[in-house]
Amino acid sequence: MAQSQGWLRRYFKAFCKGFFVAVPVAVTFLDRVACVARVEGASMQPSLNPGGCQSSDVVLLNHWKVRNFEVQRGDIVSLVTIGHKNRLVKVPRGHMWVEGDHHGHSFDSNSFGPVSLGLLHAHATHILWPPERWRRLESVLPPERFPIHSNDE
């Protein structure tokens, strides 16, 4: 009986040590390096969720890449949600304009205006699920979308 209690106590101590090391490391990794997110809705069709309601893509979100604002036109990004409404807006320095692929079904800069770079959360780099769609996400610009340049620039 005493031997079984000693084994149980050692096991519990080893578990606690591992737990109190692994949890902070995992939380830091998920917060600062990368995490996985499920894409819901039609806002990013056809790039993500092309089957509509039948499927939800799961993507890898790279936090590390956005720490230095290494994003370009056509990248798929995740944002901290905000609210604002404008039609024609000059995007100020330190801000960006974001749009979903499925125009009219996206809650994007057309609804809330320019986004501060500080609200940039992550850059989607890969589709992880479903397995038949497993691939790297490339930056693609629709040919009909282009920036409006003014004479001020």
- How confident is the model over 33-77, as pLDDT tens digits? 888 888 877 777 777 888 765 678 889 988 888 887 778 878 888
Tell which residue, 81, 85, 72, has the closest CA to residue 43: 81
pTM comes to: 0.59
The residue ranges of the chain whose pLDDT is under 70 are 1-4, 52-54, 80-91, 101-105, 145-153
Contact 36, 63 (CB under 8 A): no
Q: Measured between alpha carbons, how far is 68 from 76 in angstroms, rounded to an integer? A: 16
pLDDT of residue 136: 92
First vs last Cα of the chain: how many Å apart?
81
